Every structure is written in structure tokens, then in C-alpha cells.
Structure 1
Amino acid sequence: MPNRPIRFLIVDDIPENLLALDALLRRDGLAVDHAHSASDALELMLVHDYALALLDVHMPGTDGYELAELMRSTERTRGVPIIFVTAAERDETRRFRGYEAGAVDYIFKPIDPVVLKSKAEVFFRIGCQARDLLRQRDEMQQIARDRDRAAAQLRAHTDNSPLAFVTLDQDLTICDWSKGAERMFGHATADLLGRSAEDSGWLDRAGAATLRGWLGPHDGAAPRHSAETQLGHASRGAIPCEVYGSILTEAGRRTLSLQILDITERKRAEEVRSLLIGELNHRIKNTLANVQAIARQGLRRSGSLGDFEQSFNGRLQALSRAHSILSDSTWSSAPLDQLIDDQIRLGTLDSDRLRRRGPAVELAPDTMLRMALALHELATNAVKYGAMSVPQGIVHLDWVARNRGISLTWRESGGPPVSPPSDRGFGSDLIAAVAGGEEGAVSVEWHPAGVVWTLRLSEGVTALAAPSAAADIPAGQPPDKGVVLNGRRILVVEDEPLVAMDIRTELEGAGAGPVQVARTVDAALSALNERSFDAALLDGNLKGQPVDPVAEALRRSRTPFCFVSGYGRDHLPQGFDDVPLIQKPFPPPVLRRVVTDLLDAGLARAAE
């Protein structure tokens, strides 16, 4: 439309007149159409819009007056200005008829070019203005359509957004309340529009003071604000929200546009995280304190360093396994049967000579840890001195649930004759500690046929709805083969220096050498590229880095290896379920046994 020419129409039955008028009118931006008759003119006017029509009065058939009347009777051509061109005398009657037919002016022949051009100029400019107005109208209509489309999109976004959109005026009166606000706060739009945000109960006094501060005087560009505050929910009361505010100014009045996020779940998660961190710190410190107590008491009461090492490692393993069981249950509680099964799996108890009976119960975390130490001590004493020290010995383990507690009996039979010990050892104290130090909660009877321990716990025990069937789990690992690792090249991939030093000392003490330590993924890959190894021990995580590349490199090089980790299988590289796992902490015999098995597997593979 901006480049569309202005169009004039000349109607005359004489071609020479058409050419003459055309020559006088022609100019840039103007298109002049010719019609030789009224019918031709009407056809052209159905196709084009004209800013001016110059009509010859005297034409055969339909004359200029009749054509003008036809134009005024048709909606499309009614507004086209008409100038009659005539050679007739200036008769007032004729002129009156022309104006009555709709003419705006007359031009008389012979035509004065100056008069023609000046009158045509007026209509040319009117046509330009009309064209510009039409263009502006179209532009405004397009702007209006774009505005309506943008407003519809914005409304759709605000209505479907997880955010609530609220607009307040300078008096904190609610001017707009989105569908998201309805969902977030449970208030219908009709109930709040036009009401004070504070008086409606949606905004408390502290929040109102904050928003009034945002609406206060400011210099420069409109600021952006954010804050955490409590906002009222229709049924839940005050809920924590994160509010972002923008100041808008229109017609001298300022409004506050708010975008609001409900952070209730985030606050709950932060509270849970804080509680979990506190609980984790508490448990870690308690565990370290328990380890410290076991070490100090064990050192005081052990006859030699060898005895201390053996007993300390066993007790540490009992704690570690109990921790693993609790971790699998997210430290809520764990079944007593699972703890007993774990002692069987470690080889502390022999499933073939254990008779257990009792309802299905779960132990709280603290109770679980103490019970793990007690069962370890009972089993260790039975293996050293009691029923488990001879092939025909039997251990009966029975328990009865009592309210939130339990009464557990450990009774040995078929073992060597029993007599009370002359001194009370540390193991007996650990067994007594299972009841939390309560007087009379732990008792022992030294019958010649076998010792009987009774442990009574008043809390920390939950009876389950149905009894659990104790699974028959094979006895523990076979005893250490005692193979000396003479000259075997072993790679230890471990980021904890003390753990790496302990593993290296154990392996070199068994004759392995050289033992190379790598503390990062890159160092391990570099070591594997430089030389070959008979076996490798791979930590499950190196300073936060996954060890998958090292495991894959070991498999490609056909190097036998095992994982050494505090993680379970779920946190180790996928696709290596056939690789042995040594759980930290571990007793030295287990380490030597697994390494020996790896070396044997390597020799068998090489012989294939």
C-alpha cells in the first residue's frame, strides 16, 4: 500500500480529449485510466479506487449526468469526487443539475491547464492523505492484533505458569490475580480483586511494609526487588513464598507487578537436609567415639598386640556390617534376622549349628549397632572357648518381643565343660552394653553344659506383622589360604593415603612387590600404560571422580582386579558385577584371601 499510486479516471467518448487531459494531468505517483463510455467507466470503478473522476457531460448513450447518478447510487463509488468537463455554455440550470448529480466542480472547454492542474492537485493531495490514513489504519489494526495476540499469550503463560502473578496499586489494592495465584493460594479472583491485600489476610503486616518500601521514591530506572515472605493460603494458613517485584508507572500512577513462587517444598527439604546433616554428624561422632572406646578398652585388656589386632578388626567389622545394613534401610530400622544372617555370611556363626527362633522384629539404629557388637562377641567367645569350638556344639538363639522391647537368650550346648571366668573381660562388658547400661538388663549363667546369656531391651524394638523366615545362608568365607605373594606386581588405586598405606603394608608384608599406588584416575591409567600388573585393587571413587575408565582399562588389559570401597554395588561402575568387592573397613585376612584368588584367576586365564 505505501507505493500504490493515486488513480484518476477520465471518461470521454473522444480519444483526443482523453489524450489531452492525460497529458495535462500526468505526474509521478499518479495513474490515469481512460474510459470511452459510462459502461467502461463503471467496470473500471469495480476494479480500482479513484481519487477523482473527470466526466464528459455529453456522451452517446449514458451521458455524464446519468453516470454520476449511477455512481452515487452504488456504495463502492459513492464517495468518488466528480468534476464535469463540458464545452457547453455556463448555464445555471445545467450547473445545478450537475451538482445535484453529485459533482464537486466544473471545468469548461477549452481547458485552462493551470485551472485543471490546480484543481487536480487538491484531489491528488486528498488521495495521498486518504492512502496514508488507510495505511495507518491497517498498521494500527495490525498493532492491535499483535497486541491482542501478545496479551493472550501472556495471559496463557501466566495462567499456566507455576508462578503466581499478582498486580497491586500504590495502596496495595489487588488489581490482577492470575489463575496461578488461584491455584497457589486457594483464593478465587472474584474474591480478591479490588480488595486490600493486607485487609484480605493475604498479606501480613511485615509483608505489607516490605512492599510499601518497594513502592517508595526511587531515582533512575525502575528497580527490581525480591524477598522471602509469608503469604496467606485460604486453607493452609501462611505459606513461605519467594516474591519478585517490578515497579510499573502509567499515567503518573505506580503499580507493583509481583511474581511469586511457593517455596514450601524447598523449605521442607532444607529442614530435612539440616536434620540429616545434624543426624549424620551425630552418628559419625558416635561411631568414632565407639571405635575409640573399643580401641582403648581393647588395648588395656589385650595380652598382646596380635590379640588386640584380631579382636579390634572383628569388632570393627561387626560395626561396619551393621552400618551397611542400616544404610540399606536409610537408617530407619533393620530386621534382627538380617543382622544374624550377616554374621553367618561373615563366617562368625555357623548356620548348620545355629538354632534360632523368634518373631520378626526390627531394631532401631542405636540398638542395631549395640546388638551387632554383642552378637559378634557371643559368637567369637563361642568359637574360641564354647560350643562352636567343637564339631558337635550347638547354639540356640531365641527371642521374645515385649512391648517396644525384646528378651533375647543365647544358649550353648554340646561344647567343652563351662566354668565362670576368673576375670571379667572387655567382651563381656560389650555384651552388657547392648542394653544401654541398664541394671539387670543383661545376665549370664555359667552352666557346665554351656553358658546362657539373657539380654533384655526395653526400647528400640518394633515387632513386625508377620514372622520372617530365616534364610539358610552358607557359612562364611573359607579360612585364609596362607599363600605368600612372592614378587607379584600389584596396583593399588586408592585416594585415601592412610588406607593406601595400610593396604600396601599388608601386601608387602605377605611378600608382594613391587606394590604401586595410584591416587587419581589419570595416575592409574598412566601406570597401566607403562607396565603390566598381576592384580589390581580399585577404589570405588577417587576424590569424586568415577573409576569407570580404570575398570575398563583393567578389563582390556586382562588384569584381575577387585573393588575396595565403602559403597555398595549400586554405586560402583555398571557392567562389573562379576568383579569381587571388598567392603571397607576390612580385616587383613580377607584382603590377602581375595588377592590370592585374583592371582589364581589370572594364572588360570593365562593357561587358557
Structure 2
Amino acid sequence: MPNRNIRFLLVDDIRDNMVALEALLRRDGLEVDMAGSAPEALEMMLLRDYSLAFVDVHMPDINGYELAELMRGTERTREIPIIFVTAAERNETRRFRGYEAGGVDYIFKPIDPVMLKSKAEVFYRIARQAKELEAQRDELRGIARDRDLAIASLRAHANNSPLALVECDADLSVRGWSEGAERLFGIKQDDVIGRTLNCAGCFDQSALDMLHNWVASLDHHARHTAEILATSPGGPLNCEIYGSVLTDPALGRTSLSLQILDVTERHRAEEVRSLLVGELNHRIKNTLANVQAIMRQTLRTSGDLKEFGGRFSGRLQALARAHSILSNVTWSSASMDEVIDDQIKAGTLDNDSLHREGPKIALSPENTLRLALVLHELGTNATKYGALSTPDGHVTLKWQIEGEDLVLEWRESGGPPVSQPQGKGFGSSLIATGFGDSRASVDWRPEGVVWTIKVARGFERMHSPRAIAVPHQQPAPTRDAAIAGLRVLVVEDEPLVAMDISLGLEEGGATIVAVARSLDEAVRSAQLADVDVALLDGNLAGDPVDQVARILHDRGVPFCFVSGYGREHLPTGYPDAPILAKPASPDMLLSTLRKITSKKVLANAVSE
């Protein structure tokens, strides 16, 4: 903290005189320095600030008048008041010279103490007031600096804020317009300051009337908020607006402070979410309706429960796989080839007995589901009664765009003689009406049935079309289907699903060693159970099965995943482990078990 004391300077070549003078001036808050010569006094005045100097007139070398003239010639010492001290008689000429040199008063020796103290008190108080004014000035400067910093900070926050800040008078004349308002409404500050909001053209009349009502409200402490539709060069804006009515306590004038937030994107997101929820509900209900229809129609045309179970499960599998294809492309569209390939992977169609040809076609989600069901029915019928029921039979599937229609032709050949059935089953009805308003016809030729289906909408040619031709090849030899006595570990947390899988495997001849429904049970069974193969769910009540997969892998037990997840959400590091999408039919499970166990047998034989 700087020294707040007042300093006086005594200049005299006789020290005793200065000591006596210092004794008379002594008081709290006053420091008195002494200089024995003019050069010493000048040096001290360059180092310290003095409020008054008592200068002896008669000094050797440089007298008091000359010292005063030197002080007035220097910027730092020019304003120091000087009182001359002299023992000479009063002389107007001498007095005039002292005033001319810059002195403000004279003290004659012998010094009158009362007179000395009186004169010194005047300068002491002036100096004290000057010190206080300096302190107040410094304090005000600090306050002003803090104020300017706060204002700059608020202005920076206002300009960088996503909020548009607008200040108006009671008549809605604009007094403040932040950079956020410029960005939001596309209007520069200079173009709107001093004009009314009505002239700015950002708000419609209903919004302006609402703002006028806010200003006219008697409760100026109320927090006003509303959602309005504003305009900008980019189009309409959905805005949340918050208003505060302020009253100047000195002048009594009312003003309105507005904070405006653009919520257009949020509105669009809510609309999209609403559309997505509606679309999801629609698809779920349609899917459930399809499942219900498939179940009822399959039940009506099935001779017994076993036949119903097989046919219904196959149709449900076709529907589920089509959903998986669409999920991979976020329900946008799927290609014709993807649907056909999926039927081949599922075993409904035999790639070696199938010849397909046609351009690259993208199908809508609805037609993807319909084509999956239609191909499943065609493939199933061909396997049971048609061309695919014999080793030499094959199917030709062609498609092309004719005018406004997509025309698909399914032609069977090489199978047993064909005759038109007496009745029309659900499968034939599904094929004929599977594409909604499509037009389907069937020709029951003795050498093989021919279906022609014309699809009117829900397809488009893909950007890089190319013809696909898969040549007919002889079917591969049939593999041994016997898995009797195969010991299986089932890891599944859904009781009904676990039961369905277990029953299906047992009917196929496998032995269920254990069913683990929790992670702890799965880990324990994977470590201790004597099994040949395992079926792993993707997770168990939210717990990943990575640890279970690692234990089985380390023990050399082959396994496959039975899950609704894709491989990207399953334990990594097991690229050879097959994935069966839920719901998986018993035939698919048994077929997969045969494949992975046969690989293990082959690997053991090679190692031996």
C-alpha cells in the first residue's frame, strides 16, 4: 500500500534552524525532510513528492530565489508551493522578487509559531484533500475498469450466445440488437436500432400484440415466455421468446428485454421422431398382422400340428430374414439379389439348382418382405412337389422391367410330371396376391410349373445395372444328417425360446446336457459340462457372453451364436462361429450343428 503521509521539505544551510522548524511543524500524518543546500534539495525533490517547501532565502552558492527559479523550470518540481524563510527586514522589493521567483508566502525570523502552524495547516489540508481525491480517482478508475470488463464480458457472451438479445422501449422501439439477433434474423444492428419491431419485419401482428401486452402488464416482476413463429431470410423460424419488463427507478421509464431462442431444428426433430414412431407402430402392427394371417391360413391348410409347425416356422423365418436385410439398410431399400441370396442361405433355394438372370433392382421395404414370403413359398413347393424334389430338377428365375411393371418369371424343369392341383392352398394364394395389387398367373405345364408375376410399384433400377447369370450346376452330394447323441449346451435367457430350441434339438436326436439362463450358469456350464457343441445367445439379461465364448474356444468346443444381433454386436475374435438369426427353426439349428461338428471331426483327422 503506498505511503499516504504528507511530506514537507525544509531547505536551509543551518541545520539547527531546520531542527527548530521541524519541531514546530511536527504532527501525525506529516513527514518532514531536511536539505542543507539547493543541490541536495533538488535531488530529494526528484525522488519524492512534496506538498510544501520551506526555503531559506540566504544560502551560499545558490540562494533561495535561485532555487525557486530552478524548481519552476523543472516539470516535476514546478507545482511545489514555496514559502520563503528569511531573517532580513521586510522589503517590498525583496518580497516582489520572491513572488516573482514562484514563492507563495514569506515567514520572517524570529518565527511566530502560531503563524507558522497556521500557514502550514492550509497546505497540509490541501495536500490531504489532494491525496484523498487521488485515492478516490484510483478507486473510480478501478471501478470503471471492472465495469468496462464486465460490460465487455457480457457483450461477448451476448454476441456468442445462441440467444438473440433484443432491448426495446415501451413502444417496442429497438435500443439493443445483439450479434445473435443479426445471425438469427439476418438484419444488421444499424438497420434496426431506433426503429420499431414492426418495421424490422421479424414478427407477425399477433406476436407484436403479445409483446405490447407484456409491457402493459402491471406485474413487472412476472417472467413472460411464449413460443412464436418468426421470419428470416432462410424461411420461417420456430422461436421460444422470454421477456422481462424493466422500469428505470430514476426516470420511471419502462423497457422490454427479450431473449429469443431458435428451436426450429428441435421442432423438425420432434416431427421426424413423431413420424418415425408412427412408422414404427405401423410396421409393427403390419408385421403382427402378417404373422397372424400366416398363422391362421397355415393352420387352416395344415393336416396336423407337425405339418403346421414346419410350414408356419418356415414362413416366419422368411419374414424374419427379410426384416434383417431391411435393418441392415436402415429400412430404405434392398436389392433383388439380397433377397434371393438370403433364401439360398436359409436353404429354401438351392444355389446349384437355381439359374437367375436380371438387372440390378432395388425393392421398397414392403416389396422386400413380400418377395421373401413369395420366394419361400415357391422354393418350399418346388422342394416338396416340384423340380427341386429330384436331383436333376432346377429352377430358372428371371426378372426384367417391361413398361411400368417389374415382371418376374419362376420356371421349373426336370422334376416330376406336373398337374394342376384340385384345390388352391394358402401357399398358392400367397404367391398370387403376395405383392398386393400385382398381377400373377400360373401355367401348370407337365414339364414344370411357370409363375409370372407383374409388380406395379415399389421398385427401381439401381444406378449400376448389370445382368446376373448363375449357371446351372449339378447338385452337391447330400451330407450325413445323423447327429444322434450329439451333446449340446444351450445358453439362452428366454425360457420359452430355450424350451423351443431344446425340444427341436432333442427331436432331431441331439442330447441337451445343460440349459444356462444366466451368465454365471453359462460360465459354470462352459467350464464343467461335457459337451460336443454349444449354442450361445448374444447376451444374457444384458450381460455379454464374451467370457463364455472364450472358455469354449479355449476348451476346443465349437459353438454358434443364436441371436437377434449382427456380428458387430457379438463377441469378437470368432469369425468362424456361425450366426443364426432369431427366430431359428429346428432344421436350421440341426443343419448348423452338423456343419460345425463335421468341421471339428475333419480338423481332428487332419491333426492326427
CA deviation vs aligned residue, 1:460-494 (integer Å, no higher than 9, x gap) = 12122432454869999987844245665x35242
Q: How far 1:417 sits from its partner (Å)?
A: 1.0
Show the counterpart of 2:360.
Answer: 360
Q: Is the 8 A contact 2:523 2:548 kept in 1?
A: no
How far 1:204 sits from its partner (Å)?
A: 2.0
CA contact (8 A) 1:346 1:476 kept: no
State the SS of the aligned residue for 1:198. Answer: helix
> 1:421 matched to which residue of 2?
421
Q: Is residue 458 from structure 1 mapped to residue 452 from structure 2 by the alignment?
A: no
Name the aligned partner's letter for residue 562 of structure 2.
Answer: V
How many angstroms does 1:294 deviate by? Answer: 0.6
> How far apart, CA to CA, are the structure 1 residues paired with 2:386 and 2:426?
17
The separation in 2 between residues aligned to 1:525 and 1:3, in whole angstroms, is 83
Deviation (angstroms), 1:431? 0.3
From 497, 500, 511, the equivalent of 1:499 is 497
Retained in 2: the 8 A contact 1:15–1:36? Answer: yes
State, as a whole percentage, how many aligned pairs show the same letter. 57
The match for 1:279 is: 279
Structure 1 residue aligned with 2:47: 47
For the residue of structure 2 that corresponds to 1:412, the secondary structure is strand
Q: What is residue 448 of structure 1 aligned with on the other side?
A: 446
Give 1:323-342 correspondences, 5 Å limit.
323-342=323-342
Q: Does the CA-based 8 Å contact 1:405-1:462 persist in structure 2? A: no
Q: Does 1:583 align with 2:581?
A: yes
Paired residue secondary structure (1:314): helix
Relative to structure 1, the CA distance from residue 530 to residue 418 in structure 2 (aligned partners, 3 Å threshold; closer, same or farther) is closer
What is the alpha-carbon distance in structure 2 between the residues aligned to residue 345 and residue 471 of structure 1? 18
Alpha-carbon distance change, 528 to 54 in structure 1, aligned in 2, over 3 angstroms: farther
1:99–1:167 CA distance, 2 compared to 1 (3 A): same
Q: Is the 8 A contact 1:392 1:415 kept in 2?
A: yes
Structure 1, residues 248-275: CA drift from partner, whole Å, max 9, x if none?
Answer: 5444334333333322222212111111
Q: Does 1:388 align with 2:391?
A: no
Residue 263 (structure 1) aligned with residue 248 (structure 2): no
Write out per-residue CA displacement over residues 294-337 of structure 1, whole angstroms, 9 at most, x where no aligned residue.
11111111112111111111111111111111222222221112
- Aligned equivalents of 1:331, 1:30: Cα separation in 2: 91
Asked whether the equivalents of residues 514 and 525 of structure 2 are also in contact (C-alpha less than 8 Å), the reply is no
Summarize the alignment of residues 401-416 of structure 1 with structure 2, pairs less than 5 Å apart: 401-416=401-416
8 Å Cα contact 1:524/1:550 also seen in 2: no
The residue number in structure 1 matching 2:465 is 467
Residues 144-182 of structure 1, C-alpha deviation per residue, up to 9 Å, x if partnerless? 333333333433343344333322232222222222222
Q: How far apart, CA to CA, are the structure 2 residues paired with 1:50 and 1:270? A: 76
Moved more, 594-603 or 158-167: 594-603
Give the conservation status (yes or no) of the 8 Å contact 2:505–2:511: yes
**TM-superposition CA deviations, 1:327-365 (whole Å, max 9, x none):** 222222211121111112222212222121222221111
Q: What is residue 65 of structure 1 aligned with on the other side? A: 65
TM-score, L = length of structure 1: 0.88
* 2:116 match: 116
Give structure 2 stretches of 5+ with no counterpart.
Answer: none
3-state SS of 2:434 partner? helix
Aligned to 2:237: 239
Determine which of 538, 541, 546 is the counterpart of 1:540: 538
Which amino acid in 1 is paired with 2:578? P
Please state how far the C-alpha of 1:12 moved relative to its aligned partner.
Answer: 0.9
Partner of 2:331, secondary structure, is coil
Letter in 2 for 1:31: E
- Alpha-carbon shift at residue 455 of structure 1 (Å): 0.5
Q: Distance in 2 between matches of 1:354 and 1:362?
A: 21
Amino acid at match of 1:456: K
Query: How far apart, CA to CA, are the structure 1 residues paired with 2:363 and 2:564?
Result: 23
* C-alpha deviation, 1:446, in angstroms: 0.8
- Deviating more after overlay: 589-598 vs 130-139: 589-598
Gap change, CA 1:443 and 1:388, over 3 Å in 2: same
Q: How far apart in 2 are the matches of 1:231 and 1:499?
A: 55
Change (3 A) 1:76 1:578: farther
State the alpha-carbon separation in 2 of the partners of residues 240 and 532 from structure 1.
63
Q: Does 2:506 correspond to 1:518? A: no
CA displacement 1:60-111 (0-9 Å, x = unmatched) = 2222223223323433222222222222233344334333433333333233
Q: Which residue of 2 aligns with 1:434?
A: 434
CA–CA separation in structure 1 for the residues paired with 2:393 and 2:229: 69
The answer (yes or no) to whether the contact 1:247–1:255 under 8 Å persists in 2 is: yes
Gap runs ≥5 in structure 1:
none
Q: Distance in 1 between matches of 2:205 and 2:556?
A: 72
Q: Do the aligned partners of residues 578 and 143 (structure 1) sit closer, same or farther apart at CA in structure 2, a change above 3 Å counting?
A: farther
CA–CA separation in structure 1 for the residues paired with 2:275 and 2:544? 28
Map 1:591-602; keep pairs closer than 5 Å.
591-594=589-592
- Which residue of structure 2 aligns with residue 320 of structure 1? 320
The SS at the match of 1:199 is helix
Instruction: Decide whether aligned partners of structure 1 residues 600 and 57 sit closer, same or farther in structure 2, where only a CA change above 3 A counts.
Output: farther
Shift in Å, 1:531 = 5.6
- TM-score, with normalisation over the residues of structure 2? 0.88
* Displacement after TM superposition at 1:581 (Å): 1.9
Shift of 1:545: 6.0
* Mapped partners of 1:207, 1:28: distance in 2: 69
Change (3 A) 1:602 1:402: closer
- Would you say the 8 A contact 2:516–2:525 is kept in 1? no
Matches within 5 A, 1:184-263: 184-217=184-217, 222-233=221-232, 235-250=233-248, 251=250, 252-263=252-263
* Per-residue CA distance 1:516-573 (angstroms, 9 max, x = gap): 3425x6x557756996574654433556666656656766787654433222223334
The AA in structure 2 aligned to 1:584 is K
The 1-side partners of 2:216 and 2:545 are apart by 57
Report the counterpart of residue 372 of structure 1 in structure 2: 372
The 3 A distance-change label for structure 1 pair 123 and 547 is: farther
